[in-house]
Structure 1
Amino acid sequence: MKNIAAKLTVAAISTAFATEAMATEWNVSLWGKRRAFTEHVHKLAELVEEKTDGEFTMNISYGGLSKNTENLDGISIGAFEMAQFCAGYHADKNRAITVLELPFLGVRNLDEEVAVSHAVYDHPAVAEEMAQWNAKMLMTSPMPQYNLVGTGEPRDELGDFDGMRVRATGGLGEAFRAVGGVPTSVTSSEAYQAMESGVVDTVAFAQHAHLSFGTINQAAWWTENLNPGTVNCPVVVNIDAYESLTDEEREALDSSVPEAIDYYLENYGELLQRWDEVLEEKGVEKVTISDEELAAFREATASISDTWVEEMTAQGIPGQELLDLVNSTLEQTRASN
């Protein structure tokens, strides 16, 4: 009986170890703190865990695994399995998706932002470039058009942007440079300090980031309708880790993306509905840019897209094809609605 009991105990322990070994655990590298910008990642983790009965889980870290500007590098070496990054942090490493950061693309809302982002992510040129970093695009982190918060007197005319020191990355930075601004690409986590110390006069963010990183607390005014463009921030997975998943785990992950995005959109929509209350509560003046000034801004930045296409084409990236894809996707999305 003792031998039988001993064998049963060994078998039970072996089974327990085998079960534990079969479980999949991914590390996810984000930054800042939990906010509207990261809610889809949390929802994705929740859905995947539910669909796999707890056999596939994700540990979400805010800055504990990597700096935000080094998340793509971490993915490339397999330091973690999933990460979020923004294209403007290292435009030379993700050239193809910077089409989504060009100014005045005409994207009107978050649904359109999701549509154009995922269309571009599915383009072979994007997949090929990301594969160089052992990264696979999973989903976007859709953000509304960026607007400025600033100190001092409101800047509501194009001439006011001349010499303006602005925290803006990627195509947005180029847009402000075109009208005399002086863009700086400090990270989102450094924006508050840059504003507080006077390194920058203004900060270009989406609403959630002005809240999360505290720049709204330094602001005297906010431009409600400048809408020059936005930043594109994908969530990517390490290709080796993705391919190591079982068929069931991979299906759980892929099938959860649409629901995670829907949850993100609903949550962000609630934030946008509260935005006017936030401005009033913090005593921030809402600044409206005239149609004439907006038209002048668009005209001043019109050549940026042409220059981008030329530069990408010279580097072997199908720039015009990607820009055309954005425009055709917008048309299709609007037609279907």
Structure 2
Amino acid sequence: MDRRKFLKTSALGGSAAATTALAAPAYAQGKRTLTMVTSWGRGLAGVFDAAQKTADNINAVSDGSLTIDVKAAGELVGAFEVFDAVTSGQADMYHAADYYFVNQHPGFAFFTGVPFGMTAIELNNWYYHGNGIELYDQLGQIFGLKSFLAGNTGTQAGGWYKKEINSPEDFNGLKIRMPGLGGKALGYMGASVQNIPGAEVYQALASGAIDATEWIGPWADEKAGFQEITKTYYAAGFHEPSAGLTLAMNRDVFDSLTPTQQKAVEISAGDANVWNLSQYLMNNGAALERLKAGGVKVLEFPDSVWDGFGAASQKVFDEFMGDELFAEIFNDYMGSMRASSGWISDSITAYRSQRDRVFG
């Protein structure tokens, strides 16, 4: 069966793909204002910064021929409504984490983060020098999108818990916020998984609506204030070894841009991708020390829990392998990760171990 026809009529792709039939409005040449909707609350540390950085870049690199009007979550559409807003033509582009949209197609998760998947360096290797861009484009064409990586949080923390996790069974019945395929894996472990917009997570944890949450990492988590609610923090998580952020444009809008404007969008997203990763990595260390000084216990999941994460993650991958495009992306992604990881382990990892031993 033709892949695009299958996805447009499937439960995953039907509703969103149907919106691509709507004609995009015609634009006059010259200066244009384009609307960017985001999944982020205004000022949300790091993620909103990446959206604003991308917009500012486009404004500058296009020499004023494009002006990006950035809308925070809720200002035009809700945090999880940005995908439909752009595919329908209500907005011109969105900035979000594409694993929010795995119900449209599970392949979107690979361009944010998947359990036991790529680090940020490995993701960039695959995206820029492997087949990542081409596969992202195949996926985007189904929904009328042109997508670019435009931010990365780096390796995300395991999260905040109101009780310590000592065995896989501790997840049974646990109410936890975790999007994407990582959340699906915890569902296999018996957790009650919630997908809550970032700006609403603090209140959900404080009110008891959830028992635990992942967010990003020490800097963004400290800014969100989770340490005011619980002092139990797991620094390493299985679910997002990196988290790519996406700028996705309505494809008709992108195609209507001049070649120079299109290149401005591409370059602007690429700059934001590197800039945002450095922003997180620069701030996380100092934030972690402040959290520790404030009484936060930084813990590591025991090996039995990591084994449980692994078994559940494999079930998630197996669940979707019947989808042709998911399988194609999965196999290419994993092949690239294996190709990158050997040299990284033998060089960077070995070097850092010796550096820490010699210089402490």
Identify whether the pair has TM-score above 0.5, normalized to the shorter chain: yes
The Cα of 1:88 is off from its aligned counterpart by 4.1
Partner residue in 2 for 1:182: 192
Question: Residue 97 of structure 1 contacts residue 120 of structure 1 at CA under 8 Å; is this kept in 2?
Answer: no
Q: 1:23 aligns with which of 31, 36, 40?
A: 31
Distance 1:319 1:79, change over 3 A: closer
CA–CA distance in structure 2, aligned partners of residues 120 and 188 of structure 1: 30
SS where residue 60 of structure 1 aligns?
Answer: strand
Distance 1:86 1:116, change over 3 A: same
1:290-322 superposed Cα distances (whole Å, 9 cap, x missing partner): 334323432344322122213x2xxxx333221
1:306 paired with 2:313, answer: no
The Cα of 1:237 is off from its aligned counterpart by 0.8
SS where residue 141 of structure 1 aligns?
Answer: strand
Identical positions, percent = 17
Partner residue in 2 for 1:4: none
CA–CA distance in structure 2, aligned partners of residues 335 and 301 of structure 1: 22
Q: 1:236 aligns with which of 244, 248, 252?
A: 248
The Cα of 1:269 is off from its aligned counterpart by 0.9
The Cα of 1:222 is off from its aligned counterpart by 0.7
Question: Residue 86 of structure 1 contacts residue 232 of structure 1 at CA under 8 Å; is this kept in 2?
Answer: yes
Question: Residue 116 of structure 1 contacts residue 329 of structure 1 at CA under 8 Å; is this kept in 2?
Answer: yes
- The amino acid that maps onto 1:299 is A
CA–CA distance in structure 2, aligned partners of residues 141 and 322 of structure 1: 20
CA–CA distance in structure 1, aligned partners of residues 227 and 126 of structure 2: 29
After TM superposition, list the pairs within 5 Å mapping 1:139-150 onto structure 2: 139-143=149-153, 144-150=155-161
After TM superposition, list the pairs within 5 Å mapping 1:43-192 onto structure 2: 43-63=53-73, 64-99=75-110, 101-105=113-117, 107=118, 109-116=119-126, 122-124=133-135, 126-143=136-153, 144-151=155-162, 153-192=163-202
CA RMSD, 1 decimal: 2.7
CA–CA distance in structure 2, aligned partners of residues 186 and 48 of structure 1: 30
1:51-85 superposed Cα distances (whole Å, 9 cap, x missing partner): 33322221212121211111011111222222123
Partner residue in 1 for 2:12: none
CA–CA distance in structure 1, aligned partners of residues 67 and 263 of structure 2: 14
Partner residue in 2 for 1:32: 41
Structure 2 residues without counterparts, runs of 5 or longer = 1-27, 345-360
Partner residue in 1 for 2:292: 280
Scaled by the length of structure 1, the TM-score of the pair is 0.81
1:223 paired with 2:223, answer: no
Question: Residue 72 of structure 1 contacts residue 83 of structure 1 at CA under 8 Å; is this kept in 2?
Answer: yes
Structure 1 residues without counterparts, runs of 5 or longer = 1-19
1:118-155 superposed Cα distances (whole Å, 9 cap, x missing partner): 6675245x43443343221122532323412022x322
Question: Residue 101 of structure 2 contacts residue 108 of structure 2 at CA under 8 Å; is this kept in 1?
Answer: no
Question: Residue 144 of structure 2 contacts residue 251 of structure 2 at CA under 8 Å; is this kept in 1?
Answer: yes
Question: Residue 178 of structure 1 contacts residue 300 of structure 1 at CA under 8 Å; is this kept in 2?
Answer: yes
Paired residue total: 309
Distance 1:206 1:115, change over 3 A: farther
- The amino acid that maps onto 2:36 is V
Distance 1:212 1:24, change over 3 A: farther
Question: Residue 117 of structure 1 contacts residue 140 of structure 1 at CA under 8 Å; is this kept in 2?
Answer: no
- The amino acid that maps onto 1:114 is N
CA–CA distance in structure 2, aligned partners of residues 117 and 199 of structure 1: 37
Distance 1:44 1:102, change over 3 A: closer
Distance 1:336 1:293, change over 3 A: closer
